[in-house]
Amino acid sequence: MKAIVFREGSQWAVEDVPTPEPGPGEVRLQILRTGVCGTDEHLLHGGFIATLPLIPGHEMLGRVDAIGDGVDSRLLGSTVAVDNTIHCGECEPCLSGRHLFCENFVSLGCNAPGGFAEYTVVRAAKTFVVDDLDPVASTFAEPTACAMHGADVLALRPASDVLIFGAGPTGLILAQLLKASGAARVVVAAPTASKLELAESLGVDVTVQVDRTDPTGAEAELRALAPRGFDAVVEATGSISVLESAVRLTATGGTVLVYGLAAEDARAAISPYEIFSRELTLKGSFAQAFTMRRAIDVLRSGAVRTDGIITDTVGFDDFGRALANLHDSSQIKTVFVP
């Protein structure tokens, strides 16, 4: 079969690789669509938890075309979204019920083969049938599950005033999810006007355009919207200056959620005194964990909408554009279709 393969030295190519066969408890998926994510670029450069060479692609939607021993044959032919995580169940964190921190954590598409390929093999128990759901919405099952975990970590108080930095796929999904989770107001701040318009059409209350050359102007505008700060501020860009701004814009007693993926060696200047004296809480959220079912339910309900978020579709021949799109501010989400 054909697959995209990331190799050492930030190299990638379309390669012919053996078509995988499902083992006991596994199913083989014929990939229908796999979302391209900013994480993929970090992986290309050996960042995050990359194990190279790698077939990337962690936001998979596929049709079950073969099953291994012990798998219910009714799954054959179903369209499924995939929880791409595997926890060993035997390490100390797993045995303490903290599977997300599994010491042998496997994330298909990050440190094991994923979905930028014609076929992939996943555990049957980690598939979620979405035959009834629109394929566009289904493509967002995994990123919505990640956002759901972020919402769980944030644990908003009802009627909170929330600011989200970033209007990428994650920011747009989190904004809707937090609105549906009882936020009184959700403000989204980002540089690109078209993304902010989309945010408004998806139900975001207020949007603020950030001028990349003068971010302090946006901070003043946000300060004017919430003079005492926001109860919760979500950093969904991975930018250091944005995180620093997020801390300043968080209300006393409030929470900052670090959701964006920054470089591993990046450092931010944050005042310990401010965290101490204003009793700020800093939280992180890095992956989805046991949230796929709820993610699919919230997509099915329409409380989280995805129309307008996919801005480009690529295949094997033009996969390079998927990576280029990650740097094109007019693009939001690219989907790979083999």
Does residue 91 interact with Zn ion by CB under 5 A? yes
Query: Of 62-70, 97-105, 181-189, 256-264, which segment contacts Zn ion by CB under 5 A?
Result: 97-105
CB of 14 or CB of 106, closer to Zn ion: 106
Does residue 326 interact with Zn ion by CB under 5 A? no
**C-beta of 35: minimal distance to Zn ion in Å?**
7
Cβ neighbourhood burial of 282 (10 Å; 0-12, 13-18, 19+): middle
Does residue 44 interact with Zn ion by CB under 5 A? no
Query: Of 98-106, 266-274, 294-302, 318-326, which segment contacts Zn ion by CB under 5 A?
Result: 98-106
**C-beta of 156: minimal distance to Zn ion in Å?**
22
Q: Which residues contact 273 (CB under 8 A, 6 or more apart)?
A: none
**C-beta of 108: minimal distance to Zn ion in Å?**
12
CB of 54 or CB of 102, closer to Zn ion: 102
Cβ neighbourhood burial of 308 (10 Å; 0-12, 13-18, 19+): middle
Does residue 82 interact with Zn ion by CB under 5 A? no
CB of 108 or CB of 247, closer to Zn ion: 108
Return the closest-CA partner of residue 238 out of 286, 202, 177. 286
CB of 142 or CB of 219, closer to Zn ion: 142
CB pairs under 8 A, 24+ apart, for 151-157?
151/177, 151/178, 151/181, 152/291, 153/257, 153/283, 153/284, 153/285, 154/178, 154/232, 154/234, 154/255, 154/257, 154/283, 154/285, 156/181, 156/182, 156/183, 156/231, 156/232, 157/231
**C-beta of 261: minimal distance to Zn ion in Å?**
9
Does residue 39 interact with Zn ion by CB under 5 A? yes
CA distances from 337 to 47, 116, 148 (A): 25, 8, 25
The C-alpha atoms of residue 148 and residue 177 are separated, in whole angstroms, by: 7
Cβ(78)–Cβ(66) below 8 Å: no
Q: How many residues bind Zn ion (CB under 5 A)?
A: 8
**C-beta of 138: minimal distance to Zn ion in Å?**
15
Query: Of 6-14, 99-107, 132-140, 223-231, which segment contacts Zn ion by CB under 5 A?
Result: 99-107
Query: Of 31-39, 60-68, 209-217, 250-258, which segment contacts Zn ion by CB under 5 A?
Result: 31-39
CB pairs under 8 A, 24+ apart, for 68-77?
68/21, 68/22, 68/23, 68/24, 68/25, 68/26, 68/27, 68/124, 69/23, 69/24, 69/25, 70/24, 70/25, 71/22, 71/25, 71/26, 71/27, 71/124, 72/124, 75/27, 75/124, 75/127, 75/129
SS3 category, 135: helix
DSSP code, position 105: -
Cβ(37)–Cβ(58) below 8 Å: yes
The single residue among 5, 37, 43, 147 that binds Zn ion, judged by CB under 5 A, is 37
Does residue 110 interact with Zn ion by CB under 5 A? no
Task: Write out the binding residues for Zn ion, residues 151-190 only, by CB under 5 A.
Answer: none
**C-beta of 233: minimal distance to Zn ion in Å?**
21
Does residue 88 interact with Zn ion by CB under 5 A? yes
CB of 108 or CB of 186, closer to Zn ion: 108
CB of 39 or CB of 144, closer to Zn ion: 39
The single residue among 102, 154, 178, 190 that binds Zn ion, judged by CB under 5 A, is 102
Does residue 94 interact with Zn ion by CB under 5 A? yes
**C-beta of 217: minimal distance to Zn ion in Å?**
31
Does residue 234 interact with Zn ion by CB under 5 A? no
Query: Of 63-71, 102-110, 149-157, 193-201, which segment contacts Zn ion by CB under 5 A?
Result: 102-110
Which residues in this chain contact Zn ion in the complex, by CB under 5 A?
37, 39, 87-88, 91, 94, 102, 104
